Structure 1
C-alpha cells in the first residue's frame, strides 16, 4: 500500500512538472512573437492539441501571466508577467554593478549617464543619472531608445546580428570601440554608447551619455570618449571579465 501511494505521488508530481514545462513553452512562444498568437498557432508550434493549449492558456490568464489581445484573436503577455520582468531587470546584477560607474561618468563629464538593455524595438533605459541643469535631458528608467539615432539601440541591433546593419556603427566601433551620433535636426540631443557583453559574448547592455549634439560635431573630444570607454571597461570587468562579442571589430 505504501509503495502504491508513493507511485501515485510520483505520478502527480511528474504531471505538475510537465504542466510547468508546457506553461514555460507557451510563454517562450509569446516572447518570440511580434504579434498576438492564436491558440492554433501555439498548438502547431508546440506539437500539442488545441484543447490542451487552451487549458493552459486559461490557467495562465487566470493567474494574470497571459491576456487576450484587445483587438482580434490571440494571446499576449499579461500585466503581472510584465511586472515580474520589470522587477527582474531593475534588480538585476548588472544594474546594481553599474550604479557607481554611472555616477562616476556623470561626475566626470557633467552629462546625463545611462544604462540600457536590449528590448523589442530598441534599447530600454534601466538606470540613469540625470544632469539637472541641462534642459531637455531627463532620462528615466523604462524609456525606450530607438533606431536610427540612438547609439544604444544601434549597438544592440548590430551585436544581435540583425539586418540591415545600422550605418556608421561598425566604423565607429573600429575607430573608437563605441558608437556615437549627433541629432542636430531632431531633438538637438546626441548620444555616446559603449557595449558590455555577457559571458557568452551576447550583448548585455550599453553604458553611455546623452548630451547636446553640438558636443559631438564634427567629432567628439577624445577625452569624452575615453570616459565612456573607461566606464564600460570597468563594468565589463565586474560583470564578465574578458567577455567580447565575435562581431566586435578590432579597434584600429
Structure 2
C-alpha cells in the first residue's frame, strides 16, 4: 500500500526547498538592482559560489538571469524584466491612470504615457497615441534617461536620493552631478510640480511630466506628454501643462494623497 504524503509543515503549506534556496539569488539581484559577480551574488544569497552556479545556469536557460559577455557578472534576464513589467501594469495606480492618459491624448492631441520606477529607472508601462502620434521609440518597457528626459528628471526630483544615485551610477554619473548639475533643476521641478525637456532625446520632440503620489506622499508614477517641439507648450502655465498637473493631482487624491 502506498504511503500517504507527509502533512504540510505547521505554519503554512509545504514548498519545494530547492526553489526557495535558488530564489535567494533572484532576491539578491532584485535587491541590488545591478549585475553582481558570482562570489558577491553567492555571498548575498548566503551560499558558496559552487552551490550558486548550477542555479544560475538553470535561471539563464529560463531567461530569469543573464550573464554579461565581458566580466561575467550576473543580472536579471529578459523573463524577469517581463514579469516585473506585467506586475507593474497590474498595479492599481497604473490601472487608474490608463484612462487618464487616453483622455489627455484625445484632448490635447499629443502622445501621453505612464512611467513607473523600475529596477533600471523610470520605465514606460502604458502609451496612449494621439491622432497624429510622434514618431519616436516609445513602447512598453522603454527605460527613460534620468537626467535627459522629462520623466527622468521628475523621478529624480521626488524619489529617494539613494535610488537616484544608483541609477545615475549606471550612466557613470555620481553625487556631484546630482547636486551641482541637476540640483537647481530639481528644486524648480519640486516647486512647480512639473518637469520638461525640449529636444532632449530627439530633435524636434519635447515632453512634459507631472507626478502622481500615493497616500504616503511617495511618487508612484509620472504622467508624461510627448509632442512636436513646435506645438507642445512647455510653459508651466500653458494649457497642456495645467491639464497634466490637474490630472496628476486628481489621480493622487484618488490614491489617498493629501497636499501638505
Q: Structure 2 length as normaliser, TM-score? A: 0.74
Determine if the alignment matches structure 1 residue 236 to structure 2 residue 252: yes
- CA shift at 1:96, angstroms? 1.9
Match of 1:41 in 2: 40
Aligned pair in 2 of structure 1 residues 76, 139: CA closer, same or farther (>3 Å)?
A: closer
- CA shift at 1:205, angstroms? 0.9
Aligned pair in 2 of structure 1 residues 76, 228: CA closer, same or farther (>3 Å)?
A: same
Aligned pair in 2 of structure 1 residues 135, 204: CA closer, same or farther (>3 Å)?
A: closer
User: Could you list the runs of 5+ residues in structure 2 that have no partner in the other structure?
Assistant: 165-174
* Aligned residues: CA RMSD: 3.4
Aligned pair in 2 of structure 1 residues 38, 231: CA closer, same or farther (>3 Å)?
A: same
Which moves more between the two structures, 98-107 or 137-146?
A: 137-146
Match of 2:91 in 1: 92
Aligned pair in 2 of structure 1 residues 18, 196: CA closer, same or farther (>3 Å)?
A: farther
1:58-97 superposed matches below 5 A:
58-97=57-96
**Distance (Å, rounded) in 2 between the aligned partners of 1:225 and 1:206:** 13
- CA shift at 1:228, angstroms? 0.4
- CA shift at 1:243, angstroms? 6.0
Query: Residues 15-54 of structure 1: CA distance to partner in whole angstroms, max 9, x if unpaired?
Result: 8465444434311222244653222112322343223323
Match of 1:247 in 2: none
Alignment size in residue pairs: 238
Equivalent of residue 169 in structure 1, options 182, 186, 191 = 186
**Distance (Å, rounded) in 2 between the aligned partners of 1:198 and 1:132:** 31
Match of 1:183 in 2: 199
**Distance (Å, rounded) in 2 between the aligned partners of 1:126 and 1:59:** 28
Higher Cα radius of gyration: 1
- CA shift at 1:71, angstroms? 3.3
User: Could you list the runs of 5+ residues in structure 1 that have no partner in the other structure?
Assistant: 245-249
- CA shift at 1:187, angstroms? 1.4
Determine if the alignment matches structure 1 residue 25 to structure 2 residue 24: yes
